[in-house]
Copies of this chain bind each other. A is one copy, B any other.
Amino acid sequence: MNEIKLIIADDHELFRNGLVELLKKHDDIKIVKSIADGFELMNVIKQEFEADIVLLDLTMPEMDGFEVLKELKSLDVKIKPIVISMHSAGNYIAKCAKMGAYGYLLKNTDESELILAIRTVHKGKKYFSSEISEKMINFMSAQSVSENVLSKKETEVLGLISKGLTTKEIAAKLFVSSRTIETHRTNILKKFEVKNTAELIKKATEINLI
């Protein structure tokens, strides 16, 4: 039969469950697994599991979506990843496309688009909505060069900055030297092309990174 076997990987339980409920109504789609982290996901995939598509969140605790994409590419599996993220920043989209994602959806998308994306990808085609494509293209043409995507540590540091922690406090919390955090801050500012914390936080929230 032509049933589409789907895995959901997202660390937000409510969101996962919402998706499950929503997809239940569609007979051609069957959720075979619902998983909270990339690490667990890869374990499942590597062992025995057969699935057609994985709906992949980018931000997960142990192993994030980028890492999953990378590993999926190296493995020789036929599972097609559709990224489903709250980030609409062009650089994220571009990076995912480059890393082999078959689709990119925003978390605030609607049901019909989700279904459309799943079916399109299942047919072997890629699905990037016009909105998403546009953002990616804008990003590419903005010559912003390669990947000013924040590293995992940088993302973590950014989150702590936005909570009002100082460099010293962050260093203590992460058990590293203040120098390290200073460097992270510097690099984050560079990647965002801003000159101070205030502008950084504003841009980060605009982009929904925080």
List the B residue with the shortest CB-CB distance to A199: B164
Cβ-closest chain B residue relative to A202: B162
A210 cross-chain contacts in B, Cβ below 8 A? 202
> How far does the alpha carbon of A164 sit from the alpha carbon of B197 in the complex, in Å?
8
Within 8 Å of chain B (Cβ to Cβ): is A123?
Answer: no
List B contacts of A199 (CB < 8 A): 162-164
A17 contact set on B, CB distance < 8 A: none
Shortest distance in angstroms between A190's beta carbon and chain B's nearest beta carbon?
Answer: 14
With a CB–CB cut-off of 8 A, which chain B residues contact A164? 194-196, 198-199, 202
Instruction: Determine the residue in chain B with the shortest Cβ distance to A158.
Output: B198
A161 in contact with B205 (CB, 8 Å): no
A159 to chain B, nearest CB (A): 10
User: In the complex, what distance in Å separates the CA atom of A205 from the CA atom of B206?
Assistant: 9
Q: How far is the CB of A86 from chain B (nearest CB, A)?
A: 15
For this complex, into which size category does the number of interface residues on chain A fall? 10 to 19
Asked if A144 CB lies within 8 Å of chain B CBs, one says no
Expressed in whole angstroms, the minimum distance between the Cβ of A171 and any Cβ of chain B is 15
A91 to chain B: closest CB distance in Å?
Answer: 20
Q: Can you list 27 A-B contacts with CB-CB less than 8 angstroms, sorted by A residue number? A: A161-B198, A162-B198, A162-B199, A162-B202, A163-B198, A163-B199, A163-B202, A164-B194, A164-B195, A164-B196, A164-B198, A164-B199, A164-B202, A166-B196, A197-B197, A197-B198, A197-B201, A198-B198, A198-B200, A198-B201, A201-B201, A201-B202, A201-B205, A202-B205, A202-B210, A205-B205, A205-B206
What distance in Å separates the Cβ of A73 from its nearest Cβ neighbour in chain B?
35
Within the complex, the shortest CB–CB distance from A166 to chain B, in Å, comes to 7
Bound Cα distance from A94 to B206, whole angstroms? 27
The distance from the CB of A164 to the nearest CB of chain B, in whole angstroms, is 3
Query: Shortest distance in angstroms between A203's beta carbon and chain B's nearest beta carbon?
Result: 9
